[in-house]
Amino acid sequence: MPNEALIVIDVQNDFCEGGALAVPGANNVLPLVNRLIARHDHVVLTQDWHPASHASFAATWPEAEPFSTRAFPYGPQTLWPEHCVQGTPGAAFHPDLLTDKAQAVIRKGYHPGIDSYSAFRENDRMTRTGLDGYLKARGITRLVLCGLALDYCVAWSAIDARQAGFEVAVVQEATAAIDLEGSKKRMLTEMRQAGIRLNATA
Q: Stretches 35-43, 63-71, 144-152, 186-194: which one binds ligand VGL (CB under 6 A)?
A: 144-152
- The 3-state DSSP class for residue 124 equals coil
Q: Annotated catalytic, 10? A: yes
Under the binding rule (CB under 6 A), the answer on residue 148 touching ligand VGL is yes
* 4 near ligand VGL, rule: CB under 6 A: no
Number of Cα atoms under 13 Å in the Cβ half of residue 12? 26
Give the torsion sign (CA, 112, 84, 87, 121): negative
- Binding residues for ligand VGL restricted to 30-69, rule: CB under 6 A: 48
**Binding of ligand VGL at residue 82 (CB under 6 A)?**
no
Q: Are 196 and 169 in contact (CB under 8 A)?
A: yes
- Binding letters toward Zn ion, positions 54-93, x by CB under 5 A: ----------------------------------------
Whether omega before 149 lies within 30 degrees of 0, making that bond cis, reads yes
Question: Which residues are annotated as catalytic?
Answer: 10, 108, 153
